[in-house]
Structure 1
Amino acid sequence: MVHPYAVTGFLLAVLPLIATPGASLALLIQHVTDSGRRQALPVVLGTVTGLYVHATLAMAGLSALVMHSSLAFTAVKLIGAVYLIGLGLWTWRSAAPNATPVPSRQRLPKGSDSAYAQALLANVLNPKAAGIYLTLVPQFIAPHEPFGGQILTLATVHALLIALWLATWTFLILRASHALNGPRFKRAAAQATSVVLITFGIRSAVT
């Protein structure tokens, strides 16, 4: 069992990381602006699932292997970067006002399944997210207690906090959408999302 003081310390340590805009927030803005509040849930669930994937990999030691192998780390980082840049370019292309219609087989899907998958991949393919469970989480684990349950407890706390953060942003996005409803706002939001995704992809590739 994780000590309450350790949980509080972990929350304070991870809060700045959650509050820093990232791919999950960018995807939330895109999907909620484009398709409404129902698209918020799959983005949140995809992000939370990604956290549990990292927690599970950390318990299995696979994340440690990736983080300590320069080749494996670089491969994961580049795959994640390519994914974010590609997703950003698709988003920009779909938002262009006079863009040539994309064939249905090539069009970026916008359903709940795709929102979930995009958020999941954006989190799983982010080595820095894995780093939280390899560098930050161990600081709040008691060595004499079973570490598996402690990691899952901290992952659940992490998931609840990030779900609350994204839910707050969903409310703000919906308020802005109602106030600025129209194709121009949706196009601007999609273009801003694409810029964020591409920026994070490039940053991931070069850092």
Structure 2
Amino acid sequence: MKLLGGIYLIWLGVTTWRSTRRGVQTAVRRRWRLPWAQLGGFGQGLWSNVLNPKAASVYLTLVPQFLTSSRPIAPQMTTLAIAHVAVVLVLLLFWTSVVATARTAIDTPRFRRGMSRLTGAVLVALGIRTATAS
């Protein structure tokens, strides 16, 4: 089974490496889209966070630690919500600027060719290692 897995990884690596000869494919394939994809970035982010059970579990487990039962809850929750929005806003703006800057370097045929070659080489190396492992 290891030998078959190794051969498959080597085949994937060679196929990936050879795909760089054909150049970057410009055809856009139709992919399956989420129902809320037409809402734009904000709508997608909102729904993915609202439907994420991990987000609710984090808030339900962490927020009570920061609340004092001797004071009114509403002002405390408001303060925590404002702090959370401020921190997330700064973090997301930072990553948005990083990704926008990196996109100019990443979205080039030369970079894609290099990444395909690197990926192919890594897959071949992993395939050889898997096939020869004892």
2:55 to 101, 106, 129: 129
The runs of at least 4 aligned residues of structure 1 exceeding 4 Å deviation read 96-102, 106-111, 183-186
* 2:67/2:73 contact within 8 Å kept: yes
Give the unaligned 5+ runs of structure 1.
Answer: 1-95, 189-207
* Residue 53 (structure 1) aligns with: none
Matches within 5 A, 1:110-121: 113-121=39-47
What root-mean-square deviation, in Å, do the aligned CA atoms of Structure 1 and Structure 2 show? 3.2
Whole-Å separation in 2 of the counterparts to 1:168 and 1:161: 11
Give the unaligned 5+ runs of structure 2.
Answer: 1-24, 116-134
- Residue-pair matches, total: 88
Please give the TM-score of this superposition, normalised by the length of structure 2. 0.52
Whole-Å separation in 2 of the counterparts to 1:156 and 1:184: 44
* 2:67/2:76 contact within 8 Å kept: yes
Deviations 1:10-59 (A, max 9, x none): xxxxxxxxxxxxxxxxxxxxxxxxxxxxxxxxxxxxxxxxxxxxxxxxxx
Matches within 5 A, 1:1-207: 98=27, 100-101=29-30, 113-182=39-108
Q: Which amino acid aligns with 1:118?
A: Q
**Tell me, what secondary structure is at the counterpart of 2:59?**
helix
* 2:105/2:111 contact within 8 Å kept: no
* Residue 15 (structure 2) aligns with: none
Give the share of equivalent positions with the same residue, in percent. Answer: 39
Whole-Å separation in 1 of the counterparts to 2:111 and 2:82: 35
Whole-Å separation in 2 of the counterparts to 1:138 and 1:181: 44
Cα distance, 1:179 vs. partner? 2.6
Query: When you count helix as a share of all residues, which structure comes out higher?
Result: 1
